[in-house]
Amino acid sequence: MRLTTAQRRVLSAIELCRTAALGGHVDVCCSCGHEHPAYNSCRNRHCPKCQALAQEKWISARSERLLPVKHFHVVFTLPSELRALARQHGRPIYDALIAAASATLLELGQSRLHARLGVTMVLHTWTRDLRFHPHVHAIVTAGGLDDDRRGWVASRPNYLFPLQVMGELLRGKMIAALRALQHAGVLATITCADFERLIAKVAALSWIVYVKKPFRRVDHVMAYLGRYTHRVAIANSRLVASSERAVTFRTKQGKHVTLTPVEFLRRFVQHVLPDRFHKIRHYGLYSSALARPGADLDQARRLLQPSAASAPDATPPSWAELLRQLTGRDVTQCRRCGGLICRVLVPASRGPPNPQRAAK
């Protein structure tokens, strides 16, 4: 396969991550003189080594918006018949899937509860063995703000909406989106005849929607979602062995998969997202437009917590504090004697990563 510019950029960033090529610093103890080098990260969102701090910062920021209600976990899956189209036209197909899934939830919230739900969605494209499998994870409030903005309408305790109805709505909205893309000339790689045959095939399918029971505790929601928002196709912890001939990694239930290095990289790079594509999106009460002071999200919170005083804005923790929370390690203290650390910068052998490009 031929690599795209984005895929080459990701592989290059991961190769150089936390190496001398990107520069860094040396931690020098002011008491005992012990030195410990630390190199800069690539900050690429596909890198398995650069997501922990970003995840914690995201959770800290989003937790302030979380409503004190139960949340369902819903998964919307793109049928296998559309995967080839998604490989060729990633951005429009991913956009269409996320839009169709969010519209399905919000429409059912209006028609069945007469309320506006809060929805956060995350796109994933992989299975545990790195095969291409686009699907959307959604965290959905178990109820919503009513149309008059005067009350909170709760869903049934362990039931959101009928799975069949969600699947049929998703299918209809996705087919309509595909027809619009075809009409606009976006899907130029498929002929009109082949497109109609494809639409007829997926229209006859039962589209898969999966709903888990709601979380028991509200404070578990963001920690759970954070694992999905910043997860990459494979974590370093799943790698078992690697050599010039084979790469072995864990999948599910203690099983392992062994691939050639070329096949491993081929599977990995097919999950590189298009540049500037937003894989995390918020809808309904959780959308940015409704999260302003005095908007629907604030009104819903007042209804759910009438006696709760508005807390002052907390100062976001520094990266050093987040690292201490994650690993228990205090980077301001010497590993050897506990003394105060002084930091000496080390120049890079190449230019530092562009923050905007690294975020792509």
Q: Where are the domains of the chain?
A: 1-50+340-360, 68-233+278-303, 238-270
The pLDDT > 70 percentage for the chain reads 86
More confident residue, 223 or 39: 39
Q: pLDDT band at 316, cuts 50/70/90?
A: low
Give residue 340's pLDDT: 72
Give residue 81's pLDDT: 97
More confident residue, 152 or 219: 152
Ramachandran area for residue 219 (φ above 0: left; ψ -120 to 50: alpha; else beta): alpha
Q: Please tell me the distance from the alpha carbon of residue 330 to that of residue 335, in angstroms, as a whole number.
A: 9
Q: What is the pTM of this model?
A: 0.86
Give residue 251's pLDDT: 94
Candidates 93, 105, 27; CA nearest to 282 is 105
Give residue 311's pLDDT: 45
When mean pLDDT is compared across 45-49, 204-208, 290-294, the lowest value belongs to: 290-294
**Encoded tokens for 263:** 């096949």
User: Angle at which helices 163-183 and 90-108 pack, to 10 degrees?
Assistant: 140
**Encoded tokens for 125:** 């494209």
Candidates 266, 300, 318, 261; CA nearest to 146 is 300
pLDDT, the chain, mean: 86
Give residue 310's pLDDT: 46
Give residue 322's pLDDT: 59
Query: What separation in angstroms does the CA of 79 have from each of 16, 27, 72, 133?
Result: 36, 51, 22, 9
Give residue 227's pLDDT: 72
Q: Is 300 exposed, middle or buried (0-12, 13-18, 19+ CB in 10 A)?
A: buried
Write out the H or E segment, with its range, that includes residue 75. Answer: strand 71-77
Q: Please tell me the distance from the alpha carbon of residue 109 to that of residue 284, in angstroms, as a whole number.
A: 10
- For the segment 187-196, what is each residue's pLDDT rounded down to a tens digit? 988 999 999 9
Q: Please tell me the distance from the alpha carbon of residue 102 to that of residue 111, in angstroms, as a whole number.
A: 14
Give residue 309's pLDDT: 42
Matching residue, tokens 């230019």: 351
- List residues bridging with 280 in a β-sheet: 122
On whether the CB atoms of residues 178 and 194 are closer than 8 A, the answer is: no
- For the segment 45-65, what is each residue's pLDDT rounded down to a tens digit? 999 888 777 777 777 777 778
- For the segment 270-283, what is each residue's pLDDT rounded down to a tens digit? 999 999 999 999 99
Q: pLDDT band at 33, cuts 50/70/90?
A: confident
Q: pLDDT band at 289, cuts 50/70/90?
A: confident
Q: pLDDT band at 319, cuts 50/70/90?
A: low
